[in-house]
Structure 1
Amino acid sequence: MLESIGLDERDEAVYDALIRRARATVADLAADCNLPPRVTARALRSLVDLGLASTAQGRPVVYAALPPDSALEAVLRERERALNGVRSHLSGLMSLYRAGSRFAHPGELVEVISGRDEVNRNWAQMQRATRTQVRGFDCPPYAAAAGHSEPNPVELELLARGVKYRVLYDSSVLELPGWLEDVSAGIRLGEQARIATGLPTKLAISDERIAMLPLLRPGDNAVTASYVIHPSPLLDALVALFEAVWERSVQIRPSAPPTAEDLPERLTPEEEKLLTLLASGATDKSAGRALGWSERTVQRHITRLLRRFGAQTRFQLAMEATRRGWI
């Protein structure tokens, strides 16, 4: 029971015997524990060193047990202080480790995985190993057969556990059927989603420890190979790239049904989605596909919104909606 504070089985037996007697000599405790006097004396010295027992002057030496609650509590506090010291040193050690590993074996910093199933397996493993957050650029094509027709089950599981997801979608996803419903499911659970035009690549980053960068050739309609990038200057550059593009992107907000307190000019959920899509650079056709509308319906809504807010252009309309905090 007390191995965690440095006592072995015989030390603990001597301590239990001393607790029962309160005060005792080496001979008394050796007889109680059926141990040699030399072993018993060594165990008693360990107890004194830990602050669990004290000695009294005289011959033979008498050992007294200190109150276990306060004595053991003091030992535990000291152990906790030591562990906290190790924890505080850990980040420094990890920085040194990363700095050394980046150049000790440069050939191991980037690996290539091949095969659609292997890419999917590594993607799931990488997500499940995440402690704090997953960041990514999302755009077609996909390794998963379902693409964006259904939510990522691992993401939904991790969001429920408190792992943060920040995902930046390329505006080309607006052409995909079911995309809006899929992303909305993640947003409702806490995903932070933004949209931008012309993302440079697909990308996934787990914390700042590992990244996946798909290997794609022009015309590929599925991800069948990927780079796996370990801590290195390349990984640092990918993290910086994500953050820079994230700052310039348009947030996708979850739509909320209007309440009785809403102002008359409050946007409907469909109008919020429409303006978010337009602000990201979506065409009327792609916005209509995402919303399940015809191009004519999209244009009719835009015309109505322009008149409603006195805007001359779509850009002015999007700026006004942003100013009001609606997109």
Structure 2
Amino acid sequence: MLQALGLSPAEEAVYTALLARPTASAQDLARQAGLEKGDTAHILHDLTARGLVAVDAGAGSGASAPVGCGAGDGSTTRYRLTPPSVALAPLLVEQRNALHRAETAFSMLTEQYRSTAAHPAGSVVEVVVGVEQVAHRFHQLQRGAQRELLVFLVGAPIAVPREDTDTSESAALDRGVDFRVVATKDYLDGHEVAQDMRAAITAGLELRLVEALPLKMVVSDRERAMVPLDVAESGGEPSAIVVHRSGLLAALVQLFEKEWAQARPLYPTPTGVRVQARAEQQPTEGELEVLALLLAGISDRRAASQLGVSIRTVERRTRRLMDLAGADSRLQLGWHAARAGWL
């Protein structure tokens, strides 16, 4: 926690050890922090010089002898914390100012790169080659997004395995990023992928499904996009283009919005049903999972694969949903589900 304010791990260990007691000696803190007494003494001396720690005025004659500076062993010197609200506030301001300077430098370097690229197209399109480089830039786009992520998912991942995207996706959702995904129906084939996507939907991701998409893509804050290239075009090595703000990027965003408008939403499984009725007249969680997939246009067989159940189970759950809704067709089932608040 305090390393973000410029303290080393050892300094943080000593500081937090002292936080738990009014005063303490170097020996006490060394024992609690798991450090050597000499190292602890030097750390305390540095923290004192920075105003984070003070020598306890009531510690006796040893208080006048700085520990680790050759004036005795410092065994009687005791230390106390300077109030954190006073001592840490300047460090926080310094870190904020440093971040502001870094953001300013980032903007200046980005604009300079665009304006001094060797070729006119160099400021618009950047080619990235190799598994590590493609994966690195992909994670940069997701982790750097502050407002919006737009994603096309199609086919099997090549450079960035699905499990490697979970952390950056979760971090984006935690930041409140508007995360919209259009995926082909076959992308969800496989129980684990479907489970991951349902968990992401529950966390706030919006997912819609289509039969086919023209390309894979991720767009970050409408400032830059990444589009994988055909492996055959790069000599068998995964590669991609990174598109910066330009007419080409605007066209990719427009393509996403067009596909999004035409795609079918995959609803999250509700945590509860809003209509008031007896429990036995309500769909179970498993039945609602089936309902969400069916309304997204997923076939019974594919739904069974994604949920990790048999096709007979999907058919049985569908039949019970229709019985609860009093529906003679799946079209009527969808109408009743929306009216009854099942979705």
TM-score computed with the length of structure 1 as normaliser: 0.60
Match of 1:245 in 2: 259
Distance (whole Å) between structure 2 residues aligned to residue 151 and residue 118 of structure 1: 15
Percent identical across equivalent pairs?
32
Contact persistence 1:195–1:251 (CA under 8 A): yes
1:263 aligned counterpart, secondary structure: coil
Once the two structures are superposed, the pairs formed by residues 1-327 of structure 1 within 5 Å of their partners are: 105-143=120-158, 146-147=161-162, 152-216=166-230, 224-258=238-272, 262-264=276-278, 265-327=281-343
Deviation at 1:238, TM superposition (A): 1.2
1:178 aligned counterpart, secondary structure: helix
2:328 aligned counterpart, secondary structure: coil
Query: Structure 1's 162 and 258: CA in aligned 2 closer, same or farther, altered over 3 A?
Result: closer
Amino acid at match of 1:123: F
Query: Structure 1's 150 and 231: CA in aligned 2 closer, same or farther, altered over 3 A?
Result: closer
Deviation at 1:205, TM superposition (A): 0.4
Deviation at 1:134, TM superposition (A): 0.7
Distance (whole Å) between structure 2 residues aligned to residue 211 and residue 145 of structure 1: 16
2:191 aligned counterpart, secondary structure: coil
Amino acid at match of 1:130: A
Deviation at 1:287, TM superposition (A): 0.3
Q: How many residues align structurally?
A: 226
Match of 2:54 in 1: none
Deviation at 1:223, TM superposition (A): 8.8
Deviation at 1:178, TM superposition (A): 0.6
CA-atom RMSD in angstroms? 3.3
Deviation at 1:162, TM superposition (A): 2.1
Distance (whole Å) between structure 2 residues aligned to residue 118 and residue 170 of structure 1: 26
| Deviation readout 1:291-323 (Å, 9 max, x if unpaired) | 111111112222232333233332332333234
| Deviation readout 1:222-256 (Å, 9 max, x if unpaired) | 99221211112221111112112222323333323
Distance (whole Å) between structure 2 residues aligned to residue 272 and residue 223 of structure 1: 42
TM-score computed with the length of structure 2 as normaliser: 0.57
